Amino acid sequence: MAQKPRTFRGRVIKENEHRINAYITAPEVRLVGDNVEPNLYSLADALKIADDLGVDLVEISNNSTPPICRCVDYNKFLYEKKKKDKEVKAAAVKSENERNSFYTKYR
């Protein structure tokens, strides 16, 4: 009996969760962030504003028209997002443990 040939998937490339700077494709964006007046800007103007501030232009929501972008340091943004997700997860676990403890206590 012949064996199946092995298939090699190769390296799995993880894509970024958000588009940043030159990877944003929309011609117009709604810009928000610190030291920025919330308004509609062309992509070129938004990139220039982010560059002047020394931060990245990050596409927060691409589902809306035009997409919402924020002027923020991308690494700091990811760190804060991870921290927030971790706190939410810890709160959910704590809530679950308290509920289980309550039921065990009153059996």
pLDDT, one tens digit per residue, over 51-104 is: 999 999 999 888 888 899 999 998 888 898 899 888 888 777 777 666 666 556
Q: What is the pLDDT of residue 92?
A: 74
> Does the bond joining 66 to the residue before it have cis omega, within 30 degrees of 0?
yes
CA distance 43 to 69: 10
> At residue 35, does pLDDT exceed 90?
no
Q: In this structure, are strands 56-61 and 39-42 parallel, antiparallel, or unpaired?
A: unpaired
CA distance 74 to 20: 8
Eight-state DSSP code of residue 104: H
Where exactly are the structural domains of the chain?
16-72, 80-107
Q: What is the pLDDT of residue 49?
A: 92
pLDDT band at 105 (very low <50, low <70, confident <90, very high): low
Amino acid at 50: A
Q: What is the pLDDT of residue 10?
A: 67
Q: What is the pLDDT of residue 13?
A: 62
Q: What is the pLDDT of residue 83?
A: 92
* H helices present in 13-73, as ranges: 43-53
Question: 16-72 is classed in which CATH architecture?
Answer: Roll (3.10)
User: Which structure tokens are listed for 69?
Assistant: 């972008």
User: Which structure tokens are listed for 42?
Assistant: 């062309």
Q: What is the pLDDT of residue 41?
A: 92
